[in-house]
Amino acid sequence: MTTAQAEKGDILIDVEFGGPEIPVASTAIVTSGAHTGYKIGPLKVTGSLHDTDSGITSIAISNGAARLASSATADGDGIAIGTEVIFDPTLNGTLSLETRVQRAATTAGNIFIGFAGLNADEVAPTLTSDTITHTLTDGNIAGFHIDTSLTAGTTWHCVFNGGETAGVTDSRETVTGTSNARNVNSQPAQDIAAGEWDLLKVDVFRNGTVEWWLNDILVQKQTTAVSITTDLCAIVGIWSTTSTVATMDVDYYRCTARRSWAR
């Protein structure tokens, strides 16, 4: 493998949701059928945008924010913002996704924030959870997760699976087949609270090790958390768990990586 390098070594995708944009405002943009090609700035917008109650809009709050709204049409319908599946952990690492989010109410909803192997136009939930069990849709994930169907239904779970849906699933919380041993620094579980912001950062290193940072505290670190032979996207998403709209506000989105110079 040969390379040709230049000064532009870093990849930075940085979106500040403080402007006047209303990128996808449900029926204002989408009239029927499956959507294709919707975006906000450099971010891909995926999900059930053909549903009349799902979309992303700017809201006038401190700093400005984008409000993600899932759909009441069906369980599992939702919306995500992020990149295409473009990052190779070995060639592009270290990968980092940082965002700041809040919910107006901690009612029914499924959240995933982190790195995943899938981001289709009609993107399904990255994983679904119930009581004490995570069920993976995607074969390669590492990120923060909340599913109100869990017993700890408002707690930020640090999930990963090492590259296969049939393999181990894990969490900082006690979930089937897991322990709290990966909870570094003996940090207590932290819940999302209505109307309060949480700062989340997920770092994926070249060797597949992942770190989860919650409000500037390292809460979990795990080796071989993702496959280093499968490309990843960086997404922030929320999906319905019932026939009710779920919303989440996003202050900003920041993803960094190194450029692959392979020819």
CATH code: domain of residue 56:
2.60.120.560
Asked if the structure places residue 5 within a domain, the reply is: no
Asked if the structure places residue 189 within a domain, the reply is: yes
* Residue 37, pLDDT score: 47
* Residue 35, pLDDT score: 40
- Please state the domain count of the chain: 1
Asked if the structure places residue 4 within a domain, the reply is: no
Asked if the structure places residue 2 within a domain, the reply is: no
* Residue 83, pLDDT score: 95
Between CA 155 and CA 120 the distance in angstroms is 27
99, 121, 94, 96: which is closest to 111 by C-alpha? 99
Asked if the structure places residue 263 within a domain, the reply is: no
Asked if the structure places residue 216 within a domain, the reply is: yes
Q: Compute how many other C-beta atoms are within 10 angstroms of the C-beta atom of residue 62.
A: 8
Asked if the structure places residue 225 within a domain, the reply is: yes
Asked if the structure places residue 19 within a domain, the reply is: yes
Q: Compute how many other C-beta atoms are within 10 angstroms of the C-beta atom of residue 223.
A: 11
* Residue 4, pLDDT score: 67
157, 153, 123, 156: which is closest to 138 by C-alpha? 123
Convert the pLDDT of each residue in 131-167 to its tens digit.
988 988 888 999 999 999 999 999 999 999 888 787 7
Which amino acid makes up residue 46?
A: T
* Residue 32, pLDDT score: 36
* Residue 77, pLDDT score: 83
This prediction has a pTM of 0.91
Give DSSP secondary structure letters for 169-220. -B-SS--TT--STTBGGGPPP-B--TT--EEEEEEE-TTS-EEEEETTEEEE
Which residue segment(s) compose the domain that 19 sits in? Answer: 11-258
* Residue 33, pLDDT score: 36
Buried-exposed string 69-103: b where 16+ CB fall within 10 A, e elsewhere: bbbbbebbbbbbbbbebebbbebbbebbbbbbbbb
Residues in the chain where the model's pLDDT stays below 70: 1-4, 19-39, 177, 179-181
* Residue 12, pLDDT score: 96
* Residue 226, pLDDT score: 93
* Residue 19, pLDDT score: 65
What does each C-alpha distance from 136 to 50, 194, 229 come to in angstroms?
A: 24, 26, 19
Q: Compute how many other C-beta atoms are within 10 angstroms of the C-beta atom of residue 20.
A: 7
* Residue 180, pLDDT score: 66
Is residue 237 within 8 Å of residue 81, measured between CB atoms? yes
